[in-house]
Structure 1
């Protein structure tokens, strides 16, 4: 049995993805600062705490089985959503910890297991500023650019090893009615090869 780990799991998209992969036979590990509110197998970790995040993913793999699919999709803090002229270096440091160092920590924790399996998928979920910088939300625009660059390099490097790396861009707020469809799209990104970046309307860019 292998495991889906959702980093930044919440009651909306994270729960829908957990249901979709769970129905396909995956064990599900929900990584969140408050996982007890989600049901299922929750593991507490703040993505800005590398030791806690690595430990949570390691514990999940030990208890549930090797992590075959990693989804990194925490919702950015409001502090990252300031206009560019109001954004400080400290704001950007926090955003980079959240959206660049967090993903790197998570990938480093699960990649050895995926390599042992000979397969896997790493799925990054970002808002619209992950592809089109928006001066109204400077922190995420800057940090998501770094996350996207990191993911694209992984896509090119790990593809020959049978490890799929993809980014789903979801512009705007996620409505409850959209979550099952987005979960299905993430399932397809995990299951099929393709471009690194896909928009939630299905187009690659």
Structure 2
């Protein structure tokens, strides 16, 4: 049985968030459905309730820390302590243009949603998780976090910064029984990706099941040894990778690094 009894999913009304909420509910986990649209999360709540699952719809813009704190409090009042958080709410650059041509307000909206959003959620849930000595947080990452995509500078910047945030907090939190993950689902066919010019005509989408299986593996505690490292659900055999966790730690693998130019590089 999963050690996770209650989870919070942000951006739950659509795309990966909706799929994740359905899968967690199917696993017997109570789910708090967070979104900006009351109608969207309420409709999903009613769907899950009709199937006998426990859920609660909560409304907040993840960039608003006070609204997030209130939503987390409402979720825990209804479902009990949150053992798992999926930071899924996100935005993408509105147009494929270089940084200096991008709409400044929209550029910052992407960064705020994708970076400040998870930070706000984490700040709201972590005190409780640390006090209880248990908890898991999954950030929806992307290949954009580890490779520069000039026409998607806001999304790339935000996902790389989120990767560094995880890298920064994962070690201290693991010592307290709380594990943080960055997991890329790969290119899934969603409303967001379908509108990206770079994916026009794409047919070889990754299956969402691999990401959902990874999320369940996190909920069950099977991937704790991989906390703090970049994982790609679409490509990685995560259970096999977990058996190599000590090797990854020895080589400091799957983390952000500045690559030295040679053995005499003072930055190595």
- Number of matched residues? 205
Task: Tell me whether 1:197 sits opposite 2:197 in the alignment.
Answer: no
- Equivalent residue number for residue 188 of structure 2: 173
Larger CA deviation: 50-59 vs 159-168: 50-59
Task: Tell me whether 1:108 sits opposite 2:110 in the alignment.
Answer: no
Unpaired runs of 5+ residues, structure 1, are none
TM-score (normalizing by structure 1): 0.87
- Equivalent residue number for residue 185 of structure 1: 214
Higher relative contact order (CA 8 A, sep 6+): 1
Distance, in Å, in 1 between the alignment partners of 2:95 and 2:174 is 32
Q: 1:199 to 1:37 in 2, by over 3 A?
A: same
> Which aligned pairs between 1:87-166 and structure 2 lie closer than 5 A?
87-166=102-181
Q: From the two aligned structures, give the one with the greater strand fraction.
A: 1
- Equivalent residue number for residue 31 of structure 2: 28
Structure 1 residue 56, shift from structure 2 partner:
0.9
Distance, in Å, in 1 between the alignment partners of 2:213 and 2:18 is 12
Larger CA deviation: 77-86 vs 149-158: 77-86
Distance, in Å, in 1 between the alignment partners of 2:64 and 2:36 is 10
**1:59-106, Cα deviation, whole Å (9 max, x unpaired):** 101111111101001131443864323235434432232122111110
| Contact in 2 for aligned 1:16/1:180 (Cα 8 Å) | no
Distance, in Å, in 1 between the alignment partners of 2:95 and 2:127 is 32
Task: Tell me whether 1:16 sits opposite 2:22 in the alignment.
Answer: no
- Equivalent residue number for residue 65 of structure 1: 80
RMSD: 2.4
SS state at 2:150 partner = coil
Q: 1:78 to 1:42 in 2, by over 3 A?
A: farther
TM-score (normalizing by structure 2): 0.68
Larger CA deviation: 148-157 vs 85-94: 85-94
Unpaired runs of 5+ residues, structure 2, are 49-55, 191-204, 242-253, 255-268
